Amino acid sequence: MSLSVSAVDDLPSDAAQRPLVRAAGLVKEFRRVKRVSGRLGGLRTLFSRDYDVIRAVNDVSFDIHSGELVGYLGPNGAGKSTTIKMLTGILTPTAGAVSVADRDPSRERKANALNIGVVFGQRSQLWWDLPLRESFRAVRDLYGVPTMEGDRRQHELVKLLDMDEFLDAPVRQLSLGQRMRGDIAAAMLYQPRLLYLDEPTVGLDVVAKQRIREFIAHVNAERGTTVVLTTHDLEDVEQLCRRIVLIDHGRVLYDGALTELMARYAPYRDLVVTLASPADVAVNGAEQIGRDGPVVTLRFRSDRVKAPEIIGAVTAAHEVVDLSVAEPRLEAVIGRIYTQRGLPESPA
């Protein structure tokens, strides 16, 4: 597969060292009408409105470097989409600063648009009544992609995302998974350096999700496209993201490696053993956390004791028919953080 040189390679070396995206003390407030009270008096109706101020993003800072693939996570209403809208220039921050490739996205929206591709999974950016092929044509024209180059990129994207079958269907007739692939391809046609994906797998079946994950991994690894990914599907995160930024109530709770989050908050493994006859199991270094007939689950600290030691102790004391060791799931850790609305004090 032929890949063109990305814009990142054309930059002077000091610019290549600087973060591609910089959010510094970002704040976004919205005013929401609390109460509208009216008074019918003579000819005129007088209204007064009360507003609540909602601080959707509250002092968020992070740097993202070229080539990174970052998961931007948080519960519903945490402020993820609002942050992404500030990074794209759709929204202007109430306070703080954003820069993308040394530009202020909301002041230089047009110049910024060439650098970024955006997909909002919940809302298509495509032309509803146009066939997908024509939508692609319109995007290519809008971004001034030369014809031959555009044909080549489109061909590659259609192949990667398997879109041949529905290229001539109007967007409104596409299934959700087809439309999402169309949206992602449209955002990549002009080869932006940076791709924001806000819930690109929402509502998709397992196969469609996997195809999109493979595509994201591909553009990041092969083309060096920087990706900021928002998702509630933690399998997306486990498969794709080395770094995550976790927010809640508009504040950053965690910014770092996914492996470190797991090592810090879930440094355990579960050993599931099936015994020849039902029994409780008591071995040093492990705790029995569940039993269902002959199937016993033991939890042990993987930073203190190794699985073979526990297995050895169990098989010495019981006749074991089957066993498996399970890693903790990201879902369990994230679930705890969301429930407690903060990072746990200690490991599970």
Note the residues at the interface with Mg ion (CB under 5 A).
80-81
Q: Which CB atom, from 77 or from 285, has the smaller least distance to ligand ATP?
A: 77
**166 vs 183 by CB, closer to Mg ion:** 183
Report what 328 binds from ligand ATP, Mg ion, none; CB cut-off 5-8 Å by kind: none
Give, as one character, the DSSP assignment of residue 2. Answer: -
Burial class from Cβ neighbours inside 10 Å (0-12, 13-18, 19+) for residue 176 reads middle
Written as six digits, the tokens of 219 are 């553009």
* 54 touches, from Mg ion, ligand ATP, none (C-beta below 5 to 8 Å by class): ligand ATP
Residue 314 CB burial class (10 angstroms; 0-12, 13-18, ≥19): buried
CB 91, min distance to ligand ATP, A = 8
Minimum CB–partner distance for residue 78 and ligand ATP (Å): 4
Cβ-Cβ contacts under 8 Å for 258 (sequence gap 6 or more) = 71, 237, 238, 241, 242, 243, 244, 330
Question: Which residues contribute to the site for ligand ATP (CB under 6 A)?
Answer: 30, 32, 54, 56, 74, 76-82
By beta-carbon proximity to Mg ion, the closer residue of 80 and 243 is: 80
CB of 195 to ligand ATP, least distance (A): 17
In the complex, the smallest distance separating the C-beta of residue 54 from ligand ATP, rounded to whole angstroms, is 5
Q: Nearest approach, Cβ of 77 to Mg ion (angstroms)?
A: 8
Maximum Cα–Cα distance for the chain, whole Å? 92
Nearest CB to ligand ATP, comparing residues 115 and 230: 230
Contact in structure between 61 and 24 (CB atoms under 8 Å):
yes
Per DSSP bridges, beta strands 268-275 and 295-301 are antiparallel
The residue (of 77 and 278) whose beta carbon lies closer to ligand ATP is 77
* Interatomic CA distance for residues 71 and 237, integer angstroms: 6
Choosing among ligand ATP, Mg ion, none, which partner's interface includes residue 32 (Cβ < 5 to 8 Å by kind)?
A: ligand ATP
